[in-house]
Amino acid sequence: MAPPTVSLSFPHGGKSSFSGGLFINNEFVAAGDGKTFAVVNPSDGKEIAQVAEASAKDVDVAVKAARKAFNESWGLNVPGFKRGQLLIKLAELIEANLEEIAAIESLDNGKAFSIAKGFDITEVAANIRYYAGWADKNHGKVIEVDSSKLHIQRQEPMGVCGQIIPWNFPALMFAWKIGPALAMGNTIVLKTAEQTPLSALKMCELIKEAGFPPGVVNVISGFGPVAGAAIANHMDIDKVAFTGSTLVGRNILKAAASSNLKKVTLELGGKSPNIIFADADLDQAISWSAFGIMFNHGQCCCAGSRVYVEESIYEKFMAKFDEKIKSIQVGNPFEGNTFQGPQVSQLQYDRIMAYIDSGKKEGATLRTGGIRHGQEGYFIEPTVFTDVNPDSKIGREEIFGPVVVVHKFKDNADLIKKANDSVYGLAAAVFSRDVTRALDTANKLQAGTVWVNCYNQLNPQVPFGGFKQSGIGRELGEAALASYSQSKSIHVNLHAPNPM
Ligand code: ADP
């Protein structure tokens, strides 16, 4: 049976056509049982394509392909410089197809085309290039113990890595995952999110064109409880890397524990505090704070969703912040000045609206937004709540939408306590002109990333990941190489005396 074909027409003109099959062994194939599922345009809720739906059996076929490639044509069989060359070729092909991949991403996810092009897909290429550079810099160590022996530590690939990614940055999460894994010589079975499988499929064409051997990268579309769970439970996957909700992250860890104890890294949710001191540059703080929560329609695990403003500037801050939030352009992702498109799905739309309702019911003040935008699709007006009880649902839980709660604070010690009073610890931000205050505060915040006088800055070179229930391990930077490799210690006897 032939796999489905995806044929897209973009609202701003142009078309794209590629396979909607499972990408296994460098071929696009139908699911074993022939199943497919619909991909929906979140701007109007209409179906745009059908793609193959992987079952546990398909996952197994993909794992076998990945294992064979690891043993025969990748891993320690291919020198690092060669892996790096292939990654550079892939980055070049992504750059050559930037407009098309950005349009696919925008149509499938709902993010603005200009942002998909200028940020998401540009960063995809930058991340792949960054890890291409690491591929031949995997130097081991010689460890000094005593002169009778030589102790060598080398970093070897894990083997077959399962990777499960979310829908908020479909292409970028794909790059964050495959870059370090491939640089270190692993093979991959990656599952995209069921809401947004398309950009990865287009990039699979480019992986093949770049010349990666068959079976090195295998990408499947499918649902979490079936294909995702099959990856997490598989006995021949050596490591699983997951980005998504804390709830599912817990399931991944349990599945790893009850199967083969595969290594696990998790990048999970957040409810990140964003702190504005009275001495901050107000315009700068307002601009970055609006960006901090509303970028990507609030669908960022590191979104600055709890803003804390020092009491003496609170009224002034709020007046300007309201204005800034109201000025955000919500609408068609393919129109030039759009900043915010639709939420990704009906389910996410419903979840966010339920949070907004609960905020109203629990007595918070709705300053702006709180309603649907337009007549169709999953658009929500950027929403600001104040007078929020920190223990209410909107005060504590990750909303993952364009909804921010703003608190005021007076006392520094109390502020730190409140900012850290969360099960999460992914990110935080501090706005102040006083470098000592900013750094003292940054040091006291329980978060894997703290931004000072900015927000949402992510670079391939800089590690990213969570304290507390926001995750396990780090992505990006040199740190990610460690989670895609394992050290082997080799003890060599030079002239140690026989032990007995
Ligand atoms: P969201 O609720 O925002 O969709 P999820 O954490 O459910 O976030 O999804 C992130 C990724 O995890 C997706 O690729 C999804 O298919 C996958 N997933 C969901 N449930 C499971 C599960 N039980 N096991 C493995 N993967 C899952």
Residues counted in the chain: 500
User: For residues 198 and 53, what is the distance between their CA atoms, to the nearest angstrom?
Assistant: 13
Q: pLDDT tier at 370 (50, 70, 90 boundaries)? A: very high
Alpha helices in 211-311 (DSSP H): 229-233, 246-258, 282-294
Which pLDDT belongs to residue 421? 98
The rounded Cα 190 to chain-centroid distance in angstroms is 13
Check if the beta carbon of residue 274 is closer than 8 Å to that of residue 455: yes
Which pLDDT belongs to residue 113? 98
Which pLDDT belongs to residue 220? 98
Summarised one tens digit per residue, pLDDT across range 133-165 is 999 999 999 999 999 999 999 999 999 999 999
User: For residues 73 and 5, what is the distance between their CA atoms, to the nearest angstrom?
Assistant: 29
Find, among 27, 169, 174, the residue nearest to 94 by Cα. 174
State whether residue 215 is helix, strand or coil. coil
Closest-lying ligand 1 atom to the alpha carbon of residue 164: 14
Q: Which residues contact 59 (CB under 8 A, 6 or more apart)?
A: 189, 191, 220, 222, 227, 230, 231, 234
Nearest alpha carbon, ligand 1 atom 15: 224
* CA distances in angstroms from 244 to 248, 250, 336, 483, listed in the order given: 7, 10, 30, 18
Summarised one tens digit per residue, pLDDT across range 382-425 is 999 999 999 999 999 999 999 999 999 999 989 999 999 999 99
The dihedral of CA 435, 295, 301, 317: what is its sign? positive
- The average pLDDT across 75-86 equals 97
Summarised one tens digit per residue, pLDDT across range 290-300 is 999 999 999 99
Which pLDDT belongs to residue 288? 98
Give me ligand 1 centre to Cα 14, in Å.
Answer: 32
Which pLDDT belongs to residue 446? 98
- The average pLDDT across 185-196 equals 98
Nearest alpha carbon, ligand 1 atom 23: 225
Predicted TM-score of the model (pTM):
0.98
Which pLDDT belongs to residue 475? 98
List the catalytic residue out of 123, 267, 381, 398.
Answer: 267
Which pLDDT belongs to residue 343? 98
Could you count the other beta carbons within 10 Å of the beta carbon of residue 33? Answer: 12
| Arithmetic mean of pLDDT over the chain | 98
Closest-lying ligand 1 atom to the alpha carbon of residue 249: 6
Summarised one tens digit per residue, pLDDT across range 453-469 is 999 999 999 999 999 99
Choose one of 39, 220, 248 to mutate for the ligand 1 pocket test, by most ligand atoms within 8 angstroms of C-beta.
Answer: 248
Indicate if ligand 1 lies below 6 Å from the C-beta of 166.
yes
Helices and strands (H and E) in the chain: how many: 16, 24
Which pLDDT belongs to residue 376? 97
Closest-lying ligand 1 atom to the alpha carbon of residue 194: 16
Give me ligand 1 centre to Cα 453, in Å.
Answer: 33
Residue 309 sits at the vertex; the CA angle it makes with 307 and 314, to the nearest 5 degrees, is 125
Give me ligand 1 centre to Cα 224, in Å.
Answer: 5
Give me ligand 1 centre to Cα 255, in Å.
Answer: 13
- The average pLDDT across 423-447 equals 98
Which domains, from first to last, does the chain contain? 5-268+470-487 (3.40.605.10), 273-452 (3.40.309.10)
Which pLDDT belongs to residue 403? 98
To the query of whether residue 267 is one of the catalytic residues in this protein, the response is yes
The dihedral of CA 285, 115, 242, 75: what is its sign? negative
Check if the beta carbon of residue 263 is closer than 8 Å to that of residue 238: yes
Residue 174 sits at the vertex; the CA angle it makes with 172 and 178, to the nearest 5 degrees, is 120
Q: What share of the chain is helix, strand, coil (3-state, %, to 5)?
A: 40, 25, 35
Summarised one tens digit per residue, pLDDT across range 83-140 is 999 999 999 999 999 999 999 999 999 999 999 999 999 999 999 999 999 999 999 9
Which pLDDT belongs to residue 276? 98
State whether residue 17 is helix, strand or coil. strand
